[in-house]
């Protein structure tokens, strides 16, 4: 039996000398102290070293305090992959605020909901996105201070607004600002919104502790060396860029910002900057291969991908081009990637089809994740490790979200039984590697974007000619998946695919618009429930 009066606890208490809250903010301070002249950020012709990066982040934090941002206050940002976005990842939590990164592809109504729900006090927006943000603010109840960031690499039209200039805001701050540590490492560092599969999106609250651990876990899991060079092909608004804005400071690496993900821009960066790592959906691999020309990477580059596993042909071509593809899996609720397909050297000798089958698996837990399993959601018991029995993928540990903001019911459901329920269905193989088999929430993953079938259906139901609408994923060679809409028209009504396409374009972000409309009798169960599995089978034949 354990000793209730453990002698190693008596008189030994936490104090500032032996306990500090974990936070990734200290990574930048250390990098600026140890490697002040090392280049931290490259954006076109702009270069900033770590001392400048740290000073500007502190200055912005100070300026935010001057605008009454304090502990627990939300600062929303709608920015491309730019230096300002990196500065916000440090400056906002440095003043105790909570960073809310907005997907730049959302429609005004979705943005307005997020601004209201997160109680945004300040919104920092790229000059390209001013029109859509103005539309969102016209719908929102909150009235945040609007700040515009004029990116030197943005070559498009500038739109008139009454917004405060980002650099002008920065100038009001003190670059020697004594930034704030979190009072508790479990304090919120960011809020990111899910795609909203069953109604409004949910605000995923992440804490300093989890961000610290996953940021380090990224470096360890990907064997990222000191002074790594990272190319930003993954949007930083996705789960805070999978925590890589903080990871790079931990290794004193260099951020190569990329405003637009284009084949030419990617290859120019690869050639010029000797990139060692980049992340992205399978569509980014297609761009890389399409724009390769005669260029061969001078060193092996790690390409970290999530979503659907790439086809065998793509993996072979990427390897020949100099890329080692690593398959990851995670959710917004797990700070981004929390599962990795750890590769065994012995697998290199297997035939290509066998290697592709192994790479299609999501893998095993990340180093900072305490537990990963596939459980029967009813009994909460592990399924057999046979690669066939389907259960729900569940997570447990310090890189699981704090919870859903202002949504205790959803939080309680997500954590039922002491595990985080992902909603993803999968199997676990005899060697412990998990593999996803289906998504219980009918999410469509297109080009790395999560699309809610329910949101598209809601838009379609607003059309007077539609009686029943059902949306499922349809395989797509370029995007991985695209929405496919099955339509039953109301009696006496008429509508064409072209008309419904225009209708959806008015109501939805462009990437959510169905790629195909099928007019048919929609199959249902005896209780009237739409049989989406049957529709998915049909959609796979239509692709």
Whether residue 209 is predicted with pLDDT greater than 50 in this model: the reply is: yes
Whether residue 454 is predicted with pLDDT greater than 90 in this model: the reply is: no
Q: 258 and 130: one domain? A: yes
Q: 320 and 458: one domain? A: no
How confident is the model at residue 27, as a pLDDT? Answer: 98
Whether residue 282 is predicted with pLDDT greater than 90 in this model: the reply is: no
How confident is the model at residue 447, as a pLDDT? Answer: 85
Judge whether 206 and 240 are in contact, CB under 8 Å. Answer: yes
**Residues 6 or more apart in contact with residue 522 via CB below 8 angstroms:** 468, 470, 486, 488, 530, 535
Higher-pLDDT residue of 104 and 4 is: 104
End-to-end CA distance of the chain: 63
Q: 334 and 448: one domain? A: no
DSSP assignment letter at 237:
T
Cα–Cα dist 127/124, whole Å: 10
In a domain, 12, yes or no: no
Q: 332 and 466: one domain? A: no
| Residue 196 binned pLDDT confidence (cut-offs 50, 70, 90) | low
How confident is the model at residue 455, as a pLDDT? Answer: 77
In a domain, 490, yes or no: yes
Q: 254 and 111: one domain? A: yes
How confident is the model at residue 316, as a pLDDT? Answer: 83
- Alpha carbon distances (Å) from 65 to 100, 330, 494: 17, 34, 57
Beta strands in 140-225 (DSSP E): 145-149, 164-165, 188-193, 203-207
Beta bridge partners of 371: 396
Whether residue 527 is predicted with pLDDT greater than 70 in this model: the reply is: no
Q: What is the mean pLDDT of residues 281-288?
A: 84
Last-in-domain residue among 338, 358, 374: 338
Cα–Cα dist 425/429, whole Å: 14
Higher-pLDDT residue of 313 and 308 is: 313
How confident is the model at residue 526, as a pLDDT? Answer: 46
In a domain, 46, yes or no: yes
Identity of the highest mean pLDDT range in 312-316, 439-443, 478-482:
478-482
Cα–Cα dist 227/35, whole Å: 10
Other C-beta atoms closer than 10 Å to the C-beta of 186 total 15
In a domain, 343, yes or no: no
| Residue 293 binned pLDDT confidence (cut-offs 50, 70, 90) | low
Helix, strand or coil, per DSSP, at residue 324: strand
How confident is the model at residue 197, as a pLDDT? Answer: 44
Q: Is 312 exposed, middle or buried (0-12, 13-18, 19+ CB in 10 A)?
A: middle
Number of domains in the chain: 2
In a domain, 15, yes or no: no
Q: What is the pLDDT of residues 381-392, one digit of tens each?
A: 999 999 988 899
Higher-pLDDT residue of 110 and 530 is: 110
Q: What is the mean pLDDT of residues 409-426?
A: 94
Total-model pTM:
0.85
H/E stretch holding 326 reads strand 323-331
Q: What is the mean pLDDT of residues 181-190?
A: 97
Last-in-domain residue among 301, 316, 338: 338
Beta bridge partners of 476: 480
Q: 325 and 447: one domain? A: no
Last-in-domain residue among 315, 338, 361: 338
Q: 185 and 46: one domain? A: yes
In a domain, 395, yes or no: no
Judge whether 497 and 466 are in contact, CB under 8 Å. Answer: no
Give the domain CATH number at 502: 3.30.300.30
In a domain, 272, yes or no: yes
Q: For strand 336-340 and strand 364-365, is the pairing parallel, antiparallel, or unpaired?
A: antiparallel
Across all residues in the chain, what is the average pLDDT?
92
Q: What is the pLDDT of residues 347-367, one digit of tens each?
A: 999 998 888 889 888 999 999
Give the domain CATH number at 97: 3.40.50.12780
Q: What is the mean pLDDT of residues 292-319?
A: 79
State the residue range of the domain holding 54. 25-338
- Alpha carbon distances (Å) from 186 to 23, 211, 249, 333: 9, 10, 21, 15
By percentage, how much of the chain surpasses pLDDT 90? 71
H/E stretch holding 489 reads strand 480-489
Whether residue 6 is predicted with pLDDT greater than 90 in this model: the reply is: no
In a domain, 361, yes or no: no
Q: What is the mean pLDDT of residues 282-305?
A: 82
How confident is the model at residue 198, as a pLDDT? Answer: 47
Judge whether 543 and 475 are in contact, CB under 8 Å. Answer: yes
Q: What is the pLDDT of residues 484-517, one digit of tens each?
A: 999 999 889 999 999 999 999 999 999 999 999 9
Which of 363, 366, 383 lies closest to 374, judged by CA? 383
- Alpha carbon distances (Å) from 383 to 297, 389, 427, 436: 43, 6, 8, 14
How confident is the model at residue 308, as a pLDDT? Answer: 66
């Amino acid at each position: 039996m354990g000793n209730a009066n453990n002698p190693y606890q008596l008189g030994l208490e936490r104090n500032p000398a032996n306990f500090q809250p974990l936070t990734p903010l200290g990574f930048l301070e250390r990098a600026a102290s140890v490697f002040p002249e090392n280049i931290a950020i490259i954006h076109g012709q702009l270069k900033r070293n770590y001392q400048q990066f740290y000073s500007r982040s502190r200055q912005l934090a100070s300026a935010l305090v001057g605008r009454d941002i304090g502990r627990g206050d939300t600062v929303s940002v709608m920015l491309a992959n730019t230096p300002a976005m990196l500065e916000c990842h440090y400056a906002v939590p440095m003043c105790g605020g909570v960073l809310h990164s907005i997907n730049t592809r959302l429609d005004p109504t979705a943005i307005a909901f997020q601004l209201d729900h997160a109680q945004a006090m300040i919104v920092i927006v790229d000059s390209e996105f001013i029109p859509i943000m103005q539309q969102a603010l016209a719908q929102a109840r909150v009235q945040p201070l609007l700040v515009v960031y004029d990116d030197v690499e943005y070559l498009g039209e500038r739109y008139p607004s009454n917004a405060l200039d980002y650099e002008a805001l920065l100038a009001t701050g003190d670059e020697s600002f004594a930034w704030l540590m979190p009072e508790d490492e479990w304090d919120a560092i960011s809020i990111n919104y899910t795609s909203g599969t069953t109604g409004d999106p949910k605000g995923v609250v992440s804490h300093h502790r989890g961000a610290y651990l996953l940021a380090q876990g990224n470096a360890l899991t990907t064997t990222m060396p000191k002074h790594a060079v990272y190319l930003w092909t993954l949007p930083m608004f996705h789960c805070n860029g999978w925590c890589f804005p903080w990871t790079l400071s931990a290794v004193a690496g260099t951020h190569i910002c990329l405003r637009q993900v284009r084949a030419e821009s990617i290859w120019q960066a690869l050639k010029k900057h000797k990139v060692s790592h980049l992340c992205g959906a399978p569509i980014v691999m297609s761009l890389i291969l399409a724009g390769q020309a005669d260029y061969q990477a001078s060193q092996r580059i790690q390409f970290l991908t999530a979503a659907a596993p790439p086809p065998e042909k793509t993996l072979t071509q990427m390897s020949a081009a100099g890329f080692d593809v690593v398959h990851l899996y995670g959710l917004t609720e797990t700070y981004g990637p929390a599962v990795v397909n750890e590769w065994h050297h012995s697998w290199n000798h297997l035939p290509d089809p066998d290697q592709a089958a192994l790479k299609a698996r999501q893998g095993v837990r990340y180093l900072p994740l305490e537990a990963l399993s596939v459980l029967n959601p009813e009994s909460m018991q592990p399924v057999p490790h046979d690669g066939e029995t389907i259960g729900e993928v569940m997570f447990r540990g310090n890189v699981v979200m704090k919870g859903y903001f202002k949504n205790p019911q959803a939080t309680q459901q997500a954590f039922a039984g002491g595990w985080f329920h992902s909603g993803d269905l999968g199997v676990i193989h005899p060697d412990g590697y998990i593999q996803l088999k289906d998504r219980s929430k009918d999410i469509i993953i297109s080009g790395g974007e999560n699309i809610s079938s329910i949101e598209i259906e809601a838009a379609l139901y607003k059309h007077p000619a539609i009686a029943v609408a059902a949306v499922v994923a349809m395989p797509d060679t370029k995007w991985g998946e695209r929405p496919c809409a099955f339509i039953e028209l109301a009696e006496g009504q008429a509508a064409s695919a072209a008309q419904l396409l225009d209708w959806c374009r008015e109501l939805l972000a462009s990437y959510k618009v169905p790629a195909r409309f099928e007019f048919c009798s929609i199959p249902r169960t005896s209780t009237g429930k739409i049989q989406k599995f049957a529709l998915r089978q049909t959609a796979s034949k239509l692709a």
